Amino acid sequence: MKKHFYKLLLTALLGTSCSAQQNNSNTNLSLADKKASPETVLLYKKLSQLTEKGYLFGHQDDLAYGVNWKYENNRSDIKDVVGDYPAVYGWDIAGLEKDDTNNIDDVPFQKMKQYIIEANERGGISTISWHFDNPATGKNAWYNTPNSLKTILPGGENHQKFTSWLNKAASFFLSLKDKKGKNIPILFRPYHELTGGWFWWGKGNCTPEEFKTAWKFTFDYLQKKGVHNLIYVYNTSSFSTKEDFLTNYPGDDFADIISFDSYQNNDDKDGQKFIAEVQNQLKIINEIGQEKHKLTAIAEAGYEAVPDPKWWTGTFSKAIGDYKISYVLLWRNHGWQENEKKMHYYAPFKGQVSEKDFIDYYNLDKTLFEKDIKKTQ
């Protein structure tokens, strides 16, 4: 039976001094945005305090669609399996820069806004990434021509275009309000998987200094637009050393959470390579997090189609081990992928081969879902 430790959670939610004293290792945490809203500061404290209990489980596009369904009120593949929602919801705002009605995954922005508001009312947390188009080519984020990022910097030929994109993002962030009219805090993960070479802002397509300048400009510009409800998530893909992870790091005053993405591949059937890699990466960012007083996370993870019936407790949980991370987010349950003629999903659904093991994973004390962080009225 899952233990909820309601008293501890209530303390965490209220951010009391008692809890802070119990968690001495995190007393030096503070947000990069010194004008962050009280609600955003409270969320950051809550994330910090909950790491003493476990880590939050998240899922991309969880409320919008799942395997063989789309836009059904209050539905979630995770909820279908365990009777509970994820604690963290992932979304992407690519398409916003072009004034599209729907995002890159065909989720209408109006519905996304609705889902973020509904999740927040239940105590859930939303994180947003941005696969924005290549400003130099007009093509998608994967069209990674060298030096594209340089063109968005101050003085660059696409700088004005880029600031217009940031204006649209700022308007979206500021439109996310709860019933009291307060801005909903968001974990914002821009320029993600920066150590990979597949995006126009990634490795090989810009210098570390150019990347840092772009990050800092984005950070400063959004604040100038009055956006103070963001917790900034620095995110890489693979890395093998501390120096590798920090090559493009903009500095402690410009990031709040440090994270990486990691997926198990089909050439690693038993998951031993995945476990070893994640453990090594967690060891590195745990050391960095302690030195810099930053929270840590696995911002994307998964094993496509989860073919291993015991993957959740046999591989995934072992990969995370005893490291104190704030959250982990599984990628989306798209379902049938027509262009690749295969099923594309990363979380279980009713009848999926790993369903029973996911229930066991849900029941672990260290895995936190929405009921575990539900706000106490």
User: Among all residues, which ones are annotated catalytic?
Assistant: 193, 300
Beta-bridge mates of residue 295: 257
CB burial of 60-95 (b: ≥16 within 10 Å; e: otherwise) equals bbbbbbbbeeeeeeebbbbbbbbebbbbbbbbbbbb
Alpha carbons 50 and 86: distance in angstroms, whole number: 15
Three-class SS of 138-189: CCCCCCCCCCCHHHHCCCCCCHHHHHHHHHHHHHHHHHCECCCCCECCEEEE
Alpha carbons 316 and 337: distance in angstroms, whole number: 24
Alpha carbons 22 and 24: distance in angstroms, whole number: 6
345 assigned binding-site residue: no
Q: Which two tokens stand for residue 233?
A: 């998530």
249 three-state secondary structure: coil
Axis-axis angle for helices 208-224, 159-175 (nearest 10): 50
**CA angle, corner 214, sides to 209 and 220, nearest 5?**
120
344 assigned binding-site residue: no
Q: Which two tokens stand for residue 254?
A: 């410009």
Beta-bridge mates of residue 369: none
Provide φ and ψ at 10, rounded to 5°.
-60, -40
336 assigned binding-site residue: no
Q: Which two tokens stand for residue 192?
A: 């993600």
Provide φ and ψ at 2, rounded to 5°.
-70, 135
Task: State the binding site.
Answer: 131, 198, 263
Task: State the binding site for substrate.
Answer: 131, 198, 263
